[in-house]
């Protein structure tokens, strides 16, 4: 079974621009979560989508948004980029159930904001 895929793998943008990152979950997985990883703050939860609905959200400004499509693929968007948005953005998918399920991470998209 193919793993979680993320595109693009690397991205360079300038301040003020916007960016869209894509995540394809493992086949059959319906929950997709997004995390931001930086050397200073570590791994921080951005949001989670299940059945095209945002089910949980972390403490990030409204410039960070996401969506999920009917095939469970997800995109996240960052508008008005700031230098501090430079990070590795990780997507994770899981089979949601009554208890927490294992989250499988993709390789990430490394975003550099200049």
Distances in Å between the Cα of 51 and the Cα atoms of 31, 62, 75 are 7, 21, 14
Asked if 105 and 94 count as a contact pair (C-beta separation under 8 A), the reply is no
CA distance 3 to 66: 21
Both tokens assigned to 13: 């943008």
Q: Is 68 in the site for other proteins (CB under 8 A)?
A: no
Q: Is 84 in the site for other proteins (CB under 8 A)?
A: no
Residue of the chain from 11, 13, 22, 44 that contacts other proteins (CB under 8 A): 44
CA distance 105 to 37: 12
* In the complex, least distance from residue 56 CB atom to other proteins, rounded to whole angstroms: 5
CA distance 101 to 91: 15
The residue (of 51 and 71) whose beta carbon lies closer to other proteins is 51
* In the complex, least distance from residue 41 CB atom to other proteins, rounded to whole angstroms: 8
Q: Which of the stretches 14-22, 40-48, 67-75, 79-87 binds other proteins when contact is defined by CB under 8 A?
A: 40-48
Q: Is 100 in the site for other proteins (CB under 8 A)?
A: yes
Tokens 């791994």 label which residue?
Answer: 43
- List contacts with other proteins (CB under 8 A): 4, 31, 33, 35, 42-45, 48, 50, 55-56, 58, 90, 92, 94, 96-108
């Amino acid at each position: 079974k193919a793993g979680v895929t993320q595109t693009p793998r690397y991205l360079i943008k300038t301040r003020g621009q916007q960016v869209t990152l894509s995540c394809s979950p493992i086949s059959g997985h319906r929950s997709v979560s997004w995390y931001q990883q930086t050397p200073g703050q570590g791994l921080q939860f951005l949001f989670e989508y299940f059945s095209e609905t945002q089910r949980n959200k972390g403490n990030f400004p409204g410039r960070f948004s996401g969506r999920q499509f009917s095939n469970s693929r997800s995109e996240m968007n960052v508008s008005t980029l700031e230098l501090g948005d430079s990070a590795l953005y990780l997507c994770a998918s899981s089979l949601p159930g009554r208890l927490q399920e294992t989250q499988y991470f993709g390789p990430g998209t490394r975003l550099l904001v200049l």
